Amino acid sequence: MTNAIRVHETGGPEVLRLDEVTREAGTGQLLVRVEAAGVNFIDTYQRSGVYSVELPHALGLEGAGTVEAVGDGAGDFAPGDRVAWVWAAGSYAEHVVVPVERAVRIPDAVDTKTAGALMLQGLTAHYLLRSTYRVDETDTVLVHAAAGGVGLLLVQLATSLGARVIATASTAEKRALATGAGADEVLGYEDFDTKVRELTGGTGVSVVYDGVGKDTFEASLASIRPRGYLVLFGGSSGQVPPFDLQRLNAAGSLFVTRPSLGPYIADRAEYEWRVGELFEAVGNGSLQVRIGGSYPLTEAANAHRDLEGRKTTGKLLLVP
């Protein structure tokens, strides 16, 4: 038996419950003692009912820890291995069952908590920059929520690819973090589209990476150069309502896409490529992972309140 956070009915953070559950490693699975579980907006969407899930639902999709038991068909994984994962349901727990295809070994140069903090948001930043829109030194990019978990990683990785980075953040403290991560210019949200146009000589940016959603969507569209991209990868302020696609034509043949991580790591080789580049960057010091808060498992509701209240910077972790 182990303790896990589950949702029995959708609602606010108060619906999170600590339940005792049974978890064992089956065929092709690892039983892992969780040392750090990542807290993400997708968890709040599942808890609140924005994303439909079967109830009761065990929250959490990523983390890192130590293998305690292996099932048949577990390959060369063994008890004692340090592993990280993404898309292992029920990671808000003392123990989690991780499918072998989702587990990756943590290299010696990366500590376990950092690995747990990196997986979902790091992989998101990687696919956004390297695949959804392939950024290079010719691009100017706009990154919203640049002091958040994904935002800080996007700024650093985009800078390492040679791009000019314009960032937005809501407070002076958060703007300072974005500057420290390498952003060339950092703005508040008020009239940011006008300021982006001024900074780009009226042209606009190649791509906007927008995880805020409803509150920034219209001005994000207004910030893009002809044939540029709006990459909407989240909705921390709410979901974007339907809009007339003809507007993309009128604004200069723009592209809008709503990607998600799953299709970008469905292939094991692609998954290992992305994780490998991230671990290498952390190991050599070129990528910093900011852990903005660590909460005991019993305080999962507080972690959700802080995340949804935009009170946080960097990554939030639950530490059983």
The C-alpha atoms of residue 195 and residue 52 are separated, in whole angstroms, by 38
pTM summary value: 0.92
For residue 228, report the phi and psi dihedrals to the nearest 5 degrees: -85, 180
The per-residue b/e assignment along 148-181, b for 16 or more CB within 10 angstroms, e otherwise, is: bbbbbbbbbbbbebebbbbbbbeeeebbebbbeb
Residues whose CB falls within 8 Å of the CB of residue 7, separated by 6 or more in sequence, listed in order: 15, 16, 17, 46, 47, 53, 55, 56, 57, 59
Q: Report how far apart, in Å, the C-alpha atoms of 167 and of each of 156, 159, 176, 192, 298 are.
A: 11, 12, 11, 10, 34
- Residues in the chain where the model's pLDDT stays below 50: none
290: tokens are 């900011």
Place of tokens 């910077």: 313
Q: What are the C-alpha distances in Å from 268 to residues 73, 112, 166?
A: 16, 21, 33
Cβ count within 10 A of residue 39: 29
As a whole number of angstroms, the distance between CA 126 and CA 156 comes to 11
DSSP string, 202-258: TS-EEEEEESS-TTTHHHHHTTEEEEEEEEE---TT-PPPP--THHHHHTTS-EEE-
**pLDDT computed for residue 312 by the predictor:** 80
Report the distance separating Cα 30 and Cα 100, nearest Å.
6
pLDDT score for 160? 96
Tokens of 253: 């043949």
In this prediction, residue 169 carries a pLDDT of: 95
Could you report the per-residue pLDDT of 161-196, keeping only the tens digit for each? 999 999 999 999 999 999 999 999 999 999 999 999
The string of pLDDT tens digits covering residues 102-160 is 999 999 999 999 999 999 999 999 999 999 999 999 999 999 999 998 999 999 999 99
Three-state SS across 151-211?
HHHHHHHHHHCCCEEEEECCCHHHHHHHHHCCCCEEECCCCHHHHHHHHCCCCCEEEEEEC
pLDDT at residue 145 in the model: 94
**What is the spatial distance between Cα 170 and Cα 285, in angstroms, rounded to a whole number?**
27
Pairing of strands 164-168, 95-99: unpaired
Q: Which residue has the tokens 């972790």?
A: 317
